[in-house]
Amino acid sequence: MPEIEIRSATATDIPGLVQMEHTSLTTHVWQMERLQEEGTLQTIFREVRLPRPVRLVYPRPISKLADNWQVMSIVLIAVYQSNCIGYLTVSDKNLPNCGWIYDLVVTESMRRKGIASALVLAGQDWASRNGLKRVVMEMQSKNFPAIRLAQKLGYEFCGYNDHYYANQDLGLFFGKFLK
C-alpha cells in the first residue's frame, strides 16, 4: 500500500471530493430471491457472475453530496502526495451506539491498493474512540467490490432494504461489533 495520510476533511477538501470519480466496475451482483410458503418466509441472496463487467452509477446524487456531508459525524479523507485519493463518511446519529458508513470512495487509479481498507479501519477507530459499539456499512447489492471489502474486514451481512436508494436499488447492510 502506498504511504497515505488519513485525516478529517476540511471545507477546502469538499470541492475535490465531489469531483472524484464515484462510479465503479462490478463483475458480480447479489441477486435476491424471496420464497414464501405457509408459515415460512425466506430471503436468499445468491452471488451471480455477470456476463461482462458493468459500471455502477453512484446511488446518491453527486450534486447533493456536499450537503449530506454537513450532517455526517465525520468525513475522513485519504491523502497521497498532497492529493485526496479517497474518502469515507460516518454518522453516529441513526442507531444508538452505532456508526453508519454511508460513503466510501477511492479514485479509480488508486483502487485495489488498500486505501478503502485503511479508510474503513480509520472509521472504526473513530467509532471506537467515540464510544460506539458497532459499525454498519451500507452498499448497493450490485457493488460487489464493496461487498468483498466488507467481508474481508470481518463485517457480516446483517440486513437489507428494498428500494433503499433514490435510484430504487436494493441496499445491503454489513455490520461489525467493535472490541
Pairing of strands 40-56, 24-37: antiparallel
DSSP letters along 93-160, please? SSSTTEEEEEEEEE-GGGTTSSHHHHHHHHHHHHHHHTT--EEEEEEETT-HHHHHHHHHTT-EEEEE
Q: How many domains does the chain have?
A: 1
Taking only the tens place, the pLDDT of each residue in 31-80 is 999 999 999 999 999 999 999 999 999 998 888 888 888 889 999 999 99
Please state whether the predicted TM-score (pTM) of the whole model is above 0.85.
yes
- Give every CB contact of residue 12 below 8 A, 6+ residues apart in sequence: none
pLDDT tens string for the chain (179 positions)?
A: 679 999 999 999 999 999 999 999 999 999 999 999 999 999 999 999 999 999 999 998 888 888 888 889 999 999 999 999 999 999 999 889 999 999 999 999 999 999 999 999 999 999 999 999 999 999 999 999 999 999 999 999 999 999 898 888 899 999 999 98
Task: Please tell me the chain's helix, strand, coil percentages from 3-state DSSP, rounded to the nearest 5.
Answer: 25, 45, 30
CATH number at residue 104: 3.40.630.30
Domain residues for the domain of 67 are 5-177
Q: In a 3-state reduction of DSSP, which class is residue 16?
A: helix
Task: Look at residues 109, 116, 108 and name the one whose alpha carbon lies nearest to residue 78.
Answer: 116
